[in-house]
Structure 1
Amino acid sequence: MNGETVLITGSTDGLGRHLAVRLGAAGARVLVHGRDARRAELVRSQILAAGGPEPLVLHADLAELSQVDRLADDVAQHVDRLDVLVSNAGVGFGRPGAARQLSADGIELRFAVNHLAGYRLTRLLLPLLRSSATPRIVNVASAGQHPIDFADPMLEHHYDGVTAYRRSKLAQIMSGFDLADELRGEVVVNSLHPASFMDTTMVHEAAVVPHSTVTQGCDATLRLITGPAARSTGRYFNGEREGRADDQAYDPDARRRLRQLSDELIAAHTRP
């Protein structure tokens, strides 16, 4: 990873933080993204203590599309190429029984952060990714997936946080498959479920007993950045093995409808 530039969204906690420190220690210049300045500075210090090059700290709330755009602008101001984008930032199930939440733009929160923010950011960063000799995109998704109901994609009826989360993660995988097809031969795009119920803030908030460690999830994610899997595109991994996503991810019409929905939401809430 010496000399490579890596942006990890949501890299101030959980999997993102562990990944940032390990990649920094391996010689990558890490772009640390988060909302909390104190936690971002802590990650920066950990990377330096591990012997990594000076990281760049970037602040943005991905629940607001204008801040997603600003994040892309900030990256472009500081680097002339991007070798790896890890789309990791996310919102979990939430507390059991919690009410439906909206983003700053009035979009169902989990769809907005887990899918739409990454969808938008990736598109904006494609010129920098194309400037790399070996560009890779890794979408940190989940094995917990639920088909999207396009009659009610924002879960205005019969809401629950688990379904919202699972739909957003399937959307992330679907858009990853689309992008892999579009950029085949230019950029490697893969998605993965890193590990089940890792010991993270997100899992504890949902009142779930952790089943695996963050280190396990980090190992699986690193394989898509530095291992043999980083050379093939358009795949979904369950941990360290290739898996199969929900059937809807392989439905061309469903993916078309998701693209249309995503583009309409972005057009309604961003400047041309």
Structure 2
Amino acid sequence: MSSAPLSGRTFLITGATSGIGYETARLLAERGATVLVHGRTADDAQAAADRLVATAGIDADRLRAFAADFTRLDEVERLAHRVVAEHPRLDVLVNNAGMAAPERHTITPDGNEIAFQVNFLAHYLLTGLLEPALTTDPGGRVVNVSSSLHRTASIQWNDPNRARRYSRLAAYAQSQLALTVFASDPRVTAVSVHPGVCETALMPLYANEGVSPAQGAAHVVRLCDPATEIVNGAYYDREERVEPAAAATEDRTVKRLSKLADLLVGHTATT
């Protein structure tokens, strides 16, 4: 992986307080980037930034703490507006924040199944609102941290909340397929990556053991690097570019998902 300096570049990492997100923030900051560290709460985000300074020797001036609870779309909207106001040029957005779907069917205050909102809808809204900052200069890109489980999924178009038949694994997989489909949206240049099975809170969905979060983060950072050429909508399994599930690149599916997501995020999508 390239170790060229990234000074002068700004990256926003969602879910940067632990696991792959934290390690992605560390690796980028160690190369001189300005990193916007997102956490669910302001305390969580600041604690992660402080830990990067204390344990990784990162210059505190290169870290900024940002907060938004992705179960609340109004907080996502406020996050986006703050980022654009403070960083009108954003080089890379890493859509990493994620959760395993709970055992019981759970609906957010916005009325969406919780995994679908946290893993996909919040990122859809955030990316759309950050489009001006991502397209200020050529080369801005989005890296979606997705999952190989997207291949097992189907999007329940008439029941995306899966109210009629709920399975936590199916709900999680649906959210990952949606995130992977979203990489083919033409509004911004984006790719998706499965970083491998890593030792994070999501590991039980995949296997009993995995690689370190830092090893998974290295695959994310490679795609953040401007030296890595990318094609909009491409999907990577770790370092290898492979074909995603067929639905992920179908023009009809991309348009249908965008229409559904616009409906579910409501007026905030165009604010």
Q: What is the TM-score with the length of structure 2 in the denominator? A: 0.89
Question: For residues 26-67 of structure 1, what are the alpha-carbon distances to aligned partners after superposition, in whole Å with 9 as ceiling and x for unaligned?
Answer: 111111111144432232123334233431111110111111
Distance in 1, Cα, partners of 2:142 & 2:269: 23
The sequence identity of aligned pairs, in percent, is: 33
Is 2:158 aligned against 1:151?
Answer: yes
Give the number of aligned pairs: 261
Shift of 1:208: 5.0
Distance in 2, Cα, partners of 1:131 & 1:257: 27
C-alpha spacing 1:170/1:76, structure 2 compared with 1 (3 Å): same
Q: What is the TM-score with the length of structure 1 in the denominator? A: 0.89
Is 2:73 aligned against 1:65?
Answer: yes
C-alpha spacing 1:257/1:270, structure 2 compared with 1 (3 Å): closer
Question: For residues 222-263 of structure 1, what are the alpha-carbon distances to aligned partners after superposition, in whole Å with 9 as ceiling and x for unaligned?
Answer: 111116544433200011101221121132222222111111
- Residue number in structure 2 paired with 1:189: 190
> Which region of structure 1 is more displaced relative to structure 2, 157-166 or 253-262?
253-262
Q: How does 1:194-209 map to 2 (within 5 A)?
A: 194-196=195-197, 198-203=198-203, 208-209=207-208
C-alpha spacing 1:244/1:231, structure 2 compared with 1 (3 Å): closer
Structure 1 SS opposite 2:117: helix
- Residue number in structure 2 paired with 1:56: 64
Q: How does 1:2-151 map to 2 (within 5 A)?
A: 2-49=7-54, 50-52=57-59, 53-94=61-102, 98-145=103-150, 146-151=153-158
Structure 2 SS opposite 1:147: coil
Compute the RMSD of aligned alpha carbons.
2.0
- Give the partner amino acid of 2:209: P
Q: Is 1:48–1:54's contact at 8 Å kept on the other side of the alignment?
A: no
C-alpha spacing 1:150/1:20, structure 2 compared with 1 (3 Å): same
Distance in 1, Cα, partners of 2:9 & 2:16: 17
- Give the partner amino acid of 2:73: L
- Give the partner amino acid of 2:195: P
Q: Is 2:27–2:221's contact at 8 Å kept on the other side of the alignment?
A: no
Structure 2: 5+ residue runs without aligned partners? 1-5
Question: For residues 139-165 of structure 1, what are the alpha-carbon distances to aligned partners after superposition, in whole Å with 9 as ceiling and x for unaligned?
Answer: 111010101121322111220111001
Question: For residues 1-31 of structure 1, what are the alpha-carbon distances to aligned partners after superposition, in whole Å with 9 as ceiling and x for unaligned?
Answer: 1111110011011100111111111111111
C-alpha spacing 1:144/1:73, structure 2 compared with 1 (3 Å): same
- Residue number in structure 2 paired with 1:222: 221
- Residue number in structure 2 paired with 1:249: 248
- Residue number in structure 1 paired with 2:3: none
Structure 1: 5+ residue runs without aligned partners? none
Q: How does 1:254-269 map to 2 (within 5 A)?
A: 254-267=253-266
